[in-house]
């Protein structure tokens, strides 16, 4: 029985050695998962900001030309993303016959019975700094969002 006790007593520190070897890898995995979740949240927020801006602009032909209102709608949709650049807004117009025209004088370029078809596009971007700086991984990630919607008639 004493030989059995000696074998058991010799293994008392094995669990702590295994924990010391595995714990740094486990902590690194948890930090990576937290960082990935944070970047995914920011990416969704930037994409949703573009959708909010284009939804405001697509209400009618008046809001489609309200660039400041579109930009405000986009930036107010993502208040937690402080590094968001000013959203880029673009309009595209065409006649229902398929002829591309400029939006500034769209009313005079479409011949009857053709209608004006107008689209609004909003591009958003934000630079997000990572909380943890790992070797080989960039410290700043640039996220982009884009939304295009047809303006309601």
Q: pLDDT tens, 49-72?
A: 999 999 999 999 899 999 999 999
- Residue by residue, pLDDT tens for the chain (153 residues) are 555 555 555 677 888 888 899 999 999 899 889 999 999 999 999 999 999 999 999 999 899 999 999 999 999 999 989 889 999 999 998 888 888 888 776 556 777 788 888 999 999 999 999 888 878 888 999 999 999 999 987
**Alpha-carbon span 107 to 110, nearest angstrom:** 6
**Its pTM surpasses 0.85:** no
Question: At residue 13, what are phi and psi to the nearest 5 degrees?
Answer: -95, 0
């Amino acid at each position: 029985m004493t030989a059995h006790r000696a074998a058991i007593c010799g293994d008392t520190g094995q669990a702590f050695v295994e924990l010391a070897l595995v714990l740094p890898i486990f902590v690194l995995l948890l930090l990576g998962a937290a960082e990935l979740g944070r970047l995914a949240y920011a990416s969704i927020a930037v994409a949703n900001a573009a959708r909010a801006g284009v939804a405001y602009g697509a209400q009618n032909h008046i809001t489609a030309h309200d660039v400041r209102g579109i930009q405000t709608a986009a930036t107010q949709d993502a208040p937690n993303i402080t590094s968001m650049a000013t959203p880029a807004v673009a309009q595209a117009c065409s006649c229902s016959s398929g002829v591309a025209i400029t939006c500034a004088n769209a009313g005079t370029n479409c011949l009857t019975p053709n209608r004006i078809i107008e689209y609004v596009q909003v591009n958003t971007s934000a630079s997000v700094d990572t909380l943890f700086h790992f070797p080989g991984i960039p410290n700043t990630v640039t996220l982009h969002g884009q939304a295009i919607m047809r303006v309601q008639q």
